[in-house]
Amino acid sequence: MTSMPEPTAEPMPEPMVEPTPEPLAGTGPTIPAGAGSAEPAVPATSPGQGGAFERRVRAVTPARLFLGRSGTSLRTADQLALRADHAAAQDAVHAALDLETGLLAPLGDRFGLFAVGSAAPDRATYLRRPDLGRSLSAEGRAEVARRCPRGADLQVVVGDGLSVAAVDAQVPALLPALLDAAREAGWSVGQVFAVRNARVGLLNEIGELLDPAASVLLIGERPGLVTAESLSAYLAWRPRPGHTDADRNLISNIHARGVDIPQAVARILALATAMRAANTSGVLVKEDPAGPSALTS
């Protein structure tokens, strides 16, 4: 996905404007070295420095800077790049979780991953009714109760959240690594399952239903234009109805240019260990650069 205008993009054609003695306002780029030249439009101090300036800008910020202009509008390539990035984000929000044929399919064979629905019956309702996404459908609750043993040390749940693309991109690698590492560390691991149209508050019902010690919800974050593939891991110790975000711990930005899979696994298990030591989760359990630790014991 294009997160910013491609520096090596083909130069735009000259604007279709006849030269006039007085340059027509707004038909060229804002700043020198602009439309039609091989160098992108930047506030070059002199022609020829555009490349160096552009490299400087790109090195310090992902923002869409010094794009040039046609009149006061974006140039065509930038206009369409913005639309393309937004389209990817929208598609990530509206896609459906696919355990049968997609990237998650191998997890069904290997871990018995199955999916149930939240109380939100469809995506449109889900987006407008966050309360429904915080509980399981009646059928979903029954199926989870039937298939998942109670009282595991660690229960992992996958939620689509606001980005199926994030689940597809991160979970196939993250889930096996996490479950293997948890078992190696001596945790008993519950039967993993997925929830469609899921919100973070689902952790409370899962805690009530399955009574795990630690619960981990891997859930797609609201997509940005930079990436639609960012996943969050929400952790809760013995979650119960009424618990809020203040009772949970969060590792966000799990994606290729953020927190990578090995880091995510290490941090999740370290947090779970700290929660166990503290016999609680949330604001009293902090991660620090040296690794998570409990403030209370």
Asked whether position 67 contacts other proteins by CB under 8 A, the answer is yes
The window from 64-72, 140-148, 268-276, 279-287 that contacts other proteins (CB under 8 A) reads 64-72
Among 31, 99, 181, 277, binds other proteins (CB under 8 A): 31
* Beta carbons of 297 and 277 less than 8 angstroms apart: yes
The window from 68-76, 146-154, 169-177, 283-291 that contacts other proteins (CB under 8 A) reads 68-76
* Nearest residue (CB) to other proteins, 6 versus 131: 131
Asked whether position 252 contacts other proteins by CB under 8 A, the answer is no
Query: 76-94 and 164-184 helices cross at what angle (nearest 10)?
Result: 60
Sort 114 into a burial class: Cβ within 10 Å, 0-12 / 13-18 / 19+: middle
Asked whether position 200 contacts other proteins by CB under 8 A, the answer is no
The window from 67-75, 137-145, 168-176, 182-190 that contacts other proteins (CB under 8 A) reads 67-75
* Beta carbons of 39 and 50 less than 8 angstroms apart: yes
Number of residues that bind other proteins (CB under 8 A): 50
Asked whether position 72 contacts other proteins by CB under 8 A, the answer is yes
Sort 259 into a burial class: Cβ within 10 Å, 0-12 / 13-18 / 19+: buried
Asked whether position 1 contacts other proteins by CB under 8 A, the answer is no
CB of 265 to other proteins, least distance (A): 24
Among 116, 156, 162, 195, binds other proteins (CB under 8 A): 162
Among 55, 83, 150, 286, binds other proteins (CB under 8 A): 83
At 246, list the tokens.
């203040």
CA-to-CA distance for 138 and 183, rounded, in angstroms?
Answer: 31
CB of 67 to other proteins, least distance (A): 6
Dihedral sign (CA 231, 237, 238, 244) = negative
122-141 mask for other proteins (x: CB under 8 A)?
-----xxxxx----------
Asked whether position 28 contacts other proteins by CB under 8 A, the answer is yes
Among 37, 64, 108, 209, binds other proteins (CB under 8 A): 64
Tokens 């239903």 -> residue = 209
Residue 74's nearest CA partner among 107, 26, 19, 130 is: 26
> What stretches of 119-163 show up as alpha helix (H) in DSSP?
123-128, 138-147
Asked whether position 224 contacts other proteins by CB under 8 A, the answer is yes
Cα of first residue to Cα of last residue in the chain, in angstroms, is 45
* Beta carbons of 185 and 209 less than 8 angstroms apart: no
At 209, list the tokens.
């239903």
* Beta carbons of 196 and 116 less than 8 angstroms apart: yes
* Chain positions contacting other proteins, by CB under 8 A: 25-26, 28-32, 34, 43-47, 53, 56-57, 60-67, 69, 71-74, 78, 82-83, 85-86, 89-90, 92-93, 127-131, 162, 222-226, 228
